[in-house]
Structure 1
Amino acid sequence: MSKLPFPSYSQESGTDSFHKFFERWLVEQNQHLKELVASEATKLTDEKLQALIGEVVEHYESYYKAKSKWAKHDVLAMLSPTWRSSLEDAFLWIGGWRPSMAFHLLYSKSGLQFEAKLKELLQGLRTSDLADLSATQLAQVDDIQKRTITEEREITDMMARHQETVADASMVELSHVVSEMLRANETEEGGRKEVEDKVDSTLMPKEEGLEEILQRADDLRLRTLQGIVKILRPKQCIHFLIAAAELHLRLHEWGKKRDTSRRVNIQ
């Protein structure tokens, strides 16, 4: 069970609270990774493996619950997370990883293990890892992948339509009214308050729309992970979760190092 304190929102802390939560979440994920790797070398029962898998999945759930709560206060920060590196940011889809990436990860790891265990497989031996996916499992994965891709495209289209609203009639009218007021030097206290109120009332539905889209994207991300976990046998699931954690942690590490190096070079 995740032991992380739930991040609380305050005007003073800004995004610092969630940033600190994320860093602690990464530390806990790294600990889970060590436990997953250690489980490979031990003869744990399926029951104990399932308990470990449950803890890891719950850890992901805790992240999305915290993110959903924080998005109600600052959805823009969730869509442009400063706690991630430039490398990670370049591959983000609506504030996180693309759900269909989970299937590419599964197939990539499966292919690598298949090549490594080809001799055993040709001899009819069971490997208990992702090289040993059954026909039924592959069909189930294919089914959930198709449904995930369809929903992913729907959310992408939803985001595209919402992004276009930045140039709708309300925004164009607002920008014109503000420009006219500035040109007329209506910048006294009353004028500034009127402008701020107009801006807030126009932008509020834009941010609410972004929050809804982010919620759908995060929900699909979590459901995709949960769906794959249900299909895999315990030992296979351990290998999948190890690959997911390793990729996440290493990308974050490599990205942070590149960002630091870039800043040093610029100075």
Structure 2
Amino acid sequence: MSSSSSRNFHEFFTSWLERQQVYVDELVDASNDPNNPKEKLVEKVLLHYEEYYEEKYKVIASDDIFQLFAPPWLTTFEKAFLWIGGLFKPSLLLRMTEMAVSNMTPSQIDELKVIKAEVVRMEKKGTDGLAKVQESMAASPLTELAKNWRKLVNGEASDDFDEATVKLMESLGKLVVEADNLRRYAVAKLVEILNMEQMVVVLAAIGRYQLRIRGWGVVNDLSNPKRVGVQPNLGMTN
């Protein structure tokens, strides 16, 4: 990814988090008010997440997808939660639903168990896919070119290097899209299973969880300015 693309997404993500805080506050208020309309708020929050994925796909389509695996717009602490180019595994959302929603019916509990098992299986498939891409790198032209670095310096193997890099980016890009689609699938299934009041509770819980991790990460990074990835404008959230 060019420095311009990285900077643009960093700016987008900072403003996206600011809106996230506003939406979390609205979700918390709505969860405490039985007369507060829920459907439009849930729709607005889901569109907020869709906006994130749309901007993220611009990164995937750009010149360098590798930044998604060590995003400069995240704190060091947030990076510990990364799974295939995104924050959190989709199964985490389902586990948080189990903890946050105390009034699920037996039918909802059964449906959630089925979806959770399916999502966990798909997560394993994604993790295995990433491992295969990493293993393939050991047998790719990139490894041989690294051994013969003088050819790269002299420009003798630039075509081979470019071709191998493009193939690697395509493989990683496909994995990231599949992982994000699984995240979106998990949310879509929750919308089917839960009622609007329950969905508000879940969205508020996951939003607050993300913002707290962000806040902890900012404090930790600022307390250790020598830590790799620290940035002066990470932004602070509650």
Is the TM-score greater than 0.5? yes
Would you say how many aligned residue pairs link Structure 1 and Structure 2? 226
CA contact (8 A) 1:60 1:222 kept: no
Q: Does 1:79 align with 2:69?
A: yes
Aligned equivalents of 1:208 and 1:148: distance in 2?
A: 24
The equivalent of 2:111 in structure 1 is 140
Cα distance change of structure 1 residues 264 and 78 upon mapping to structure 2, 3 Å threshold: closer
SS in 2 for 1:15: helix
Q: Which has the higher contact order (CA 8 A, sep 6+)?
A: 2
**AA of the residue aligned to 1:92:** L
The equivalent of 1:20 in structure 2 is 11
The equivalent of 1:119 in structure 2 is none
SS in 2 for 1:106: helix
CA contact (8 A) 1:178 1:195 kept: no
Cα distance change of structure 1 residues 163 and 265 upon mapping to structure 2, 3 Å threshold: closer
Aligned equivalents of 2:28 and 2:147: distance in 1?
A: 59
Give the unaligned 5+ runs of structure 1: 1-8, 110-129
Aligned equivalents of 2:201 and 2:147: distance in 1?
A: 57
Q: Does 1:196 align with 2:196?
A: no
CA contact (8 A) 2:145 2:161 kept: yes
SS in 2 for 1:132: coil
Q: Does 1:241 align with 2:203?
A: yes
Structure with greater Cα Rg:
1
The equivalent of 2:177 in structure 1 is 215
- 72, 75, 78: which is aligned to 1:88? 78
The equivalent of 2:93 in structure 1 is 102
Aligned equivalents of 1:64 and 1:16: distance in 2?
A: 17
> CA RMSD of the aligned region, Å?
2.1
Give the share of equivalent positions with the same residue, in percent: 29
Q: Does 1:39 align with 2:30?
A: yes
CA shift for structure 1 position 178: 3.8
**AA of the residue aligned to 1:155:** G
CA contact (8 A) 2:91 2:120 kept: yes
CA shift for structure 1 position 103: 1.6
CA shift for structure 1 position 177: 4.4
SS in 2 for 1:82: coil
- 129, 144, 163: which is aligned to 1:158? 129
CA contact (8 A) 2:75 2:214 kept: yes
CA shift for structure 1 position 265: 9.6
The equivalent of 2:39 in structure 1 is 50
**AA of the residue aligned to 2:31:** E
Cα distance change of structure 1 residues 66 and 264 upon mapping to structure 2, 3 Å threshold: closer
Cα distance change of structure 1 residues 42 and 175 upon mapping to structure 2, 3 Å threshold: closer
CA shift for structure 1 position 233: 1.1
Give the unaligned 5+ runs of structure 2: 229-238
**AA of the residue aligned to 1:86:** T
CA contact (8 A) 2:42 2:200 kept: yes
Aligned equivalents of 1:157 and 1:207: distance in 2?
A: 17
